[in-house]
């Protein structure tokens, strides 16, 4: 294709990259030494560099400016060129070695993370995607993991301390890998917004609709934002939505002490090492976009929905033993999740009742207030009084009465309360009741 003559361009379209209608693949590259951007163009098996790319008779794609704040400040990371990597297995080994050098995680999760990095570079070829997450308290290495993994992922969008609002636009424009630190979000509105991104973002064809103000007349017009794509998160707790939880492969960072030799601070060479790997991964993308296909996961322990979510990751894994290890992990986690989610809020409510119970009438609003105070980080959202009442009456089998507009647990429920204490493994001491 001939170079674009600027004189004949009527419309310039800022573009980050993707596959054109003709099958050509474009990817924006950024050369920080020269402070310039361009396109790497993959066409008919060959790669060339172009400053712009004609997309129509009188229009052309142009790369985002090198002065763009997101690019210049490393909020979005992209390659600077393409570099040869040899075989796919050699590339996986190199990515895994890079992770191992700077992060301490289990060998299995290290292997999963390395393959997930490759998956991010060709994710458009799949209809559903799993998410990757590390969980733990402050100082457990979560942020380091995000920094290392994110520096290799496809068009990584680092959203460490941002509000949720810009994420919709960034994902819609850049179509990359969302990397979120402290994804717990204490403010309820932001939790709800992030949940929309996560719930809609693992499958194609489910954009998030948001009302945008149009013009000075304050007319609101629904706009669809495409949030489909890979996501890597760090959280301190779990999400209360079991369906959302099932989309994550999670590593508990509190189980691992830093391995001897792991640097406390990332060396000055780290950005350049990561850049070289991104360049190799760009070549992997050019050669393999839409070349992988999912195969049915036939393990009977795995629900069909989970098989669908995790099949793309398993499609990247060539070694059968590694594939089976991942399947075993997913099965164990889904079983654990089902058990934990089914009893978790019940057990926490019983713990709170144990703490407050004096053998007298106990108002459910007191239970609700103490539950939210005690378990805010764990539940990631405020538990309503209505839900507490439902759990107490329907799931725990404890009778209540309404007095002066307030629901209370009856003092006569002492025997049932003691049964629940034993059922949930709480101390065996009894509370004397005077009726």
pLDDT averaged over every residue in the chain? 86
Q: What pLDDT, on a 0 to 100 scale, did the predictor assign at position 243? A: 75
* pLDDT tens for each residue of 3-60: 555 556 578 999 999 998 778 999 999 999 899 999 999 999 999 999 999 888 889 9
Q: Do 106 and 256 meet the contact criterion of CB atoms below 8 Å apart?
A: yes
315 Cβ partners below 8 Å, 6+ apart? 126, 292, 293, 294, 295
How far is 11 from 58, CA to CA, in rounded Å?
A: 6
Q: For 82-96, 116-130, 279-293, 381-395, which range has the lowest pLDDT when averaged over its residues? A: 381-395
Q: pLDDT-derived band of residue 215, with 50, 70 and 90 as boundaries?
A: low
pLDDT exceeds 80 at position 400? yes
pLDDT average, residue stretch 117-126 = 96
Q: For 4-8, 199-203, 355-359, which range has the lowest pLDDT when averaged over its residues? A: 4-8
Q: Per-residue DSSP letters for 221-253?
A: EEEEE---S-EEEEESS--S-HHHHTTEEEEEG
CA-nearest of 65, 129, 114 to 277 is: 114
Q: Do 343 and 350 meet the contact criterion of CB atoms below 8 Å apart?
A: no
Number of helices (H) and strands (E) in the chain: give both, helices first. Answer: 14, 18
User: How buried is 47 (Cβ within 10 angstroms: 0-12 exposed, 13-18 middle, 19+ buried)?
Assistant: middle
pTM for this prediction: 0.76
> Which spans in 122-247 are helix H?
142-150, 165-174, 188-200, 242-245
pLDDT exceeds 70 at position 246? yes
pLDDT average, residue stretch 236-240 = 75
Q: What pLDDT, on a 0 to 100 scale, did the predictor assign at position 420? A: 86
- Which of the two residues, 123 and 58, has the higher pLDDT score? 123
- Which of the two residues, 142 and 185, has the higher pLDDT score? 142
pLDDT exceeds 70 at position 186? no
Q: pLDDT-derived band of residue 213, with 50, 70 and 90 as boundaries?
A: low
Q: Is 403 helix (H, G, I), strand (E, B) or coil?
A: strand
pLDDT exceeds 50 at position 205? yes
Describe the crossing of helices 107-121 and 304-316 by its angle, rounded to 10 degrees.
80
Q: What pLDDT, on a 0 to 100 scale, did the predictor assign at position 343? A: 44
Q: Do 408 and 358 meet the contact criterion of CB atoms below 8 Å apart?
A: no
Q: What pLDDT, on a 0 to 100 scale, did the predictor assign at position 433? A: 36
* pLDDT tens for each residue of 270-300: 999 999 999 999 999 999 998 998 877 777 7
The backbone region for 405, taken as left when phi is positive above 0, alpha when psi lies in -120 to 50, beta otherwise, is: left
Structural domains in the chain? 6-72 (no CATH), 88-318 (3.40.50), 343-423 (1.20.120.1790)
**Order of strands across the sheet with 406-409?**
362-363, 406-409, 400-403
Q: Do 28 and 39 meet the contact criterion of CB atoms below 8 Å apart?
A: yes
How far is 95 from 367, CA to CA, in rounded Å?
A: 49
How far is 1 from 223, CA to CA, in rounded Å?
A: 35
Q: Do 312 and 132 meet the contact criterion of CB atoms below 8 Å apart?
A: no
Q: What pLDDT, on a 0 to 100 scale, did the predictor assign at position 288? A: 96
pLDDT average, residue stretch 240-246 = 76
């Amino acid at each position: 294709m001939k170079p674009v003559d600027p004189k004949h361009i009527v419309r310039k379209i800022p573009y980050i990259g993707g596959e054109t209608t003709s099958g050509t693949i474009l990817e924006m590259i950024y050369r920080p030494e020269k402070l310039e951007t361009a396109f790497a163009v993959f066409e008919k098996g060959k790669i060339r560099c172009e400053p712009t790319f004609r997309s129509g008779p009188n229009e052309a794609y142009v790369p985002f400016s090198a002065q763009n704040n997101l690019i210049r400040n490393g909020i979005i990371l992209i390659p600077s060129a393409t570099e040869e990597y040899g075989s796919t297995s050699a590339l996986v080994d190199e990515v895994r070695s890079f992770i191992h050098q700077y992060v301490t995680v289990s060998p299995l999760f290290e292997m999963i993370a390395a393959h997930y990095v490759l998956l991010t570079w060709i994710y458009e070829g799949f209809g559903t995607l799993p998410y990757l997450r590390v969980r733990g308290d402050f100082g457990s290495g979560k942020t380091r993991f995000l920094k290392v993994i994110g520096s290799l992922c496809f068009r990584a969008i680092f959203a460490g301390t941002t509000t949720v609002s810009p994420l919709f636009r960034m994902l819609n424009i850049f179509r990359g890998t969302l990397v979120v630190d402290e994804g717990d979000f204490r403010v309820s509105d932001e939790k709800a917004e992030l949940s929309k991104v996560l719930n809609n973002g693992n499958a194609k064809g489910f954009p998030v609709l948001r009302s945008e103000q149009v013009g000075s007349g304050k007319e609101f017009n629904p706009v669809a934002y495409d949030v489909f794509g890979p996501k890597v998160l760090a959280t301190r707790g779990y999400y209360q939505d079991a369906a959302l939880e099932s989309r994550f492969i999670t590593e508990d960072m509190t189980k691992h002490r830093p391995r001897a030799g792991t640097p406390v601070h990332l060396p000055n060479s780290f950005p350049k090492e990561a850049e070289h790997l991104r360049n190799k991964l760009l070549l992997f993308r050019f050669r393999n976009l839409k070349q992988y296909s999912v195969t049915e996961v036939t393990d009977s322990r795995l629900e069909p929905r989970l098989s669908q979510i995790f099949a793309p990751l398993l499609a990247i894994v060539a070694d059968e033993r590694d594939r089976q290890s991942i399947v075993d992990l997913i099965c164990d986690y889904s079983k654990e999740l089902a058990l934990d989610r089914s009893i978790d809020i019940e057990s926490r409510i019983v713990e709170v009742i144990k703490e407050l119970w004096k053998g007298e009438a106990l108002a459910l609003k007191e239970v609700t207030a103490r539950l939210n105070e005690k378990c805010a980080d764990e539940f990631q959202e405020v538990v309503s009084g209505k839900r507490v009442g439902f759990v107490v009456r329907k799931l725990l089998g404890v009778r209540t009465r309404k007095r002066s507009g307030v629901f209370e647990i009856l003092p006569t429920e002492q025997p049932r309360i003691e049964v629940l204490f034993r059922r949930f493994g709480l101390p065996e001491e009894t509370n004397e009741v005077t009726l």
